[in-house]
Structure formats: C-alpha cells, structure tokens
Amino acid sequence: MKTIESNPPKQEHIQKKISLTKLKKWLLGTNSDMGLLMKVVSYALLISVGFIFLYPVIYMISYAFKDLGDLLNSSVNWIPTQFYTENITRAYDVLDYIPTLLQTIFVAVLPSVLQMLTAAVVGYGFARYDFKGKKLLLVLVMSTFVIPPQITVIPRYILFNQLGLLGSIAAYAIPAGLGQGINSAIFILIFYQTYRTIPMSLIEAARLDGAGEFKIFTKIGVPISASAFIISFLFSLVWYWNETYLASIYFGGMLTTLPLELQRFVAAYNNMFPGGAGGGTGINEAIELAATLLSIIPLLLIYFVSQKWFVESIDRSGITGE
C-alpha cells in the first residue's frame, strides 16, 4: 500500500521536471537551435547595431528633401511635409555632377585595377617561390602598411614633381602598378595567404603536363583566388574614391572627385548662388546633406550590386576590413 501511494507524487515530479526542461529549451534553446529568449536578445542586438549604422543615412535622406520651412519647424522630425527636390537639384548643379562623377570613376577604377593585378602577382611570388632575402623583403613590404602616408607624402610629392607626374592620373596609377598604392601591402598579404593554400602537388602536376609558370598562375592561381580579387578591387575602389588628402596634393586643379568637390561645396554654392539668388535661400544643412547623399549614392549602388560576392569573398578571405 505504501508503494502504491508514493507513485503518484513521483510521477507528478517527473512530469513537472519534463515541463520545466521543455520550457527551458523553448526559452533558452539547445545547441542546435536558439530559444525564444535568445532570439529576442539576438534580434534586438542586431536591430540596435543596424540602427546605429543606418541612422546617419536615414538622417541624411530625411533632411535632403526638407525645405526651409521644415528645417525651421521643430515639429517636423523625420518625414518632410512635402517631397522637396530643390536641394538635390542645386547640389547637382554645384557639384557639376556627371562630369565630376566620371572623373571620380576614372580616378578610382584605374588604380584599383592596377593595384589588384600587381598585388596578385607579388603575392603569388612570395607564396610559391623561395629566394634569398624573401622574409626580409616581405617584412619591408608589410611595413609600408604600418607607416602613415603623411610621412612619405613630401618625398613622393618631390619625386612626382621631378618626374612630371603631378596633375595627372599617373600620380595614382604608377604607384598602384608598382605595388605602392593606397594600402597595397594588405592586399599583397591577402593574396599571399590565399596562394599558400594551393597544394604543391597540384602545381607540380601542372608542370609535368608542360604548363609554364604564367599558365599555372592564370589557370590555377587566379580561379582559386577569385575571392581575393574581389576583396582587393572593392576595397581599393572605396579607398581611392574617398581619398581627398593625396588627391588634392597630387592632382591640384587638373582632376577632381566628388569628395574633393564636397569639401569645397560651401564656397562653390555661394559663388553660384550669391545671397540666395535665383528665388531660393542661401546654403543650409539640407542642401549640404543633399550634396553628401549624391556623393555616396554611386558607392551604395556598387555595394548593393556586388553585395553577394562581397560578403562571400570576405568570408573566404577571413578579413573584416577597416
């Protein structure tokens, strides 16, 4: 009788324990699946971090389409009372947008391509060949990434002036083609690490089949390092696109870019529309943000188009950028 009476409480205890275990799994999850509480925390963290990154862009877009009345009205925060495009139109005219955009593409794309190709060749040489002084030379190449460019800008300026390279794209293209472009060392390192993963047996098999070194590089090395090529080109494109310090020194007034025009936007606007001429107002925050929006739209479009390959390449290369 005692045994029979003790069974029900024991079963209730087991059921209660099972229920608590299920509740714990539902809230906290398991090794293979996140629970409700972990999902809420993860999504809240992701949304918070995403908002921090998106806030400046949202703010920029909101203010770019505000008229003067909305700017002065404290009750208008995010959504303008009307779709006002005069800010975009004026910024477009002041930036001389299409010619400036074409020059920016030219200034950014050409050295990016040269830097990508040179980094691939140099990285392949360091990874697949052994020669005297290799380690020392590799350290010297990597040290160029550590040294701030402000230290070498004066000697480079003097050298480029003596060679007659100032005021032309050659001031960007020649260093990029010689492995001394903007942050070239980091791309050489990426290709170096990528090419080290190639099995030596694969290269020896290609040599036995009669393939030369150039063919081995193009047929084996290039396909394997496709992710490194994408990373190198996209990062180089962004860095050359946004560079203003070196561009203002090397190009002078011969070439210009959207970031350079954005730096002198206020002065250019006041010259084109003195005292709010043309039936409008003087420069304000909305017009400046409209110009900023126009200058970053091309890069945003490039990212949206290449997002899939960009993310996959970063995952394969194992870098996170700067």
- Domain-located, residue 307: no
245 and 120 Cβ atoms separated by less than 8 Å: no
Residue 125 lies in a domain: yes
- Provide CB contacts within 8 A for 143, sequence distance 6+: 185
In the chain, the number of structural domains is 1
What's the Cα-to-Cα distance from 291 to each of 75, 138, 200, 258, 259, rounded to whole Å? Answer: 24, 42, 53, 9, 10
What is the pLDDT at residue 2?
47
Q: Does the residue 153 lie in any domain? A: yes
Least confident of 56-70, 138-152, 273-287: 273-287
Counting residues of the chain whose pLDDT is more than 70, the rounded percentage is 83
Determine the average pLDDT of the residues in 115-133.
Answer: 90
- Paired tokens of 202: 């694969």
Q: How far apart are CA 232 and CA 313, in angstroms?
A: 10
Residue 10 burial (CB count, 10 A): 9
Give the per-residue SS3 of 12-79: HHHHHHHHHHHHHHHHHECCCCECHHHHHHHHHHHHHHHHHHHHHHHHHHHHHCCCHHHHHCCCCCCC
pLDDT score recorded for residue 316:
60
- The token pair at 140 is 């010297």
Residue 229 lies in a domain: yes
DSSP 219: I
Is 73 inside any structural domain? no
| pLDDT given for residue 42 in this prediction | 84
Q: What is the pTM of this model?
A: 0.80
End-to-end CA distance of the chain: 75
Is residue 127, in this structure, part of any structural domain at all? yes
| Residues of the domain holding 130 | 96-257
Say how far apart CA 269 and CA 284 lie, in whole Å. Answer: 10
Predicted local distance difference test score (pLDDT) of residue 1: 43
- Write the CATH number for 208: 1.10.3720.10
- Please give the full DSSP string across 149-212, using - where no structure is assigned: HHHHHHHHHHHHHHHT-TTSTHHHHHHHHTT-STTHHHHHHHHHHHHTTS-HHHHHHHHHTT--
Has residue 49 got a pLDDT over 50?
yes
Mean pLDDT of the 298-314 span: 78
The pLDDT tens digits of the residues spanning 205-243 come to 888 888 888 888 888 888 888 888 988 999 999 999 999
Task: For residue 78, tell me if it sits in a domain.
Answer: no
> What is the 3-class SS of 228-284, one letter each residue?
HHHHHHHHHHHHHHHCCHHHHHHHCCCCCCHHHHHHCHHHHHHHHCCCCCCCCCCCC
Phi and psi angles of residue 281, each rounded to the nearest 5 degrees, phi first: -100, 170
Kindly state the tokens that stand for 175. 């260093």
| pLDDT the model gives residue 281 | 60
pLDDT on residue 321: 43
Range with the poorest average pLDDT among 7-16, 151-160, 175-184: 7-16
Q: How far is CA 161 from CA 66, 143, 169, 240, in A?
A: 46, 25, 13, 21
The secondary structure of 108-122 as a DSSP string is: HHHHHHHHHHHHHHH
* 77 in any annotated domain: no
Please tell me whether residue 132 adopts helix, strand or coil conformation: coil
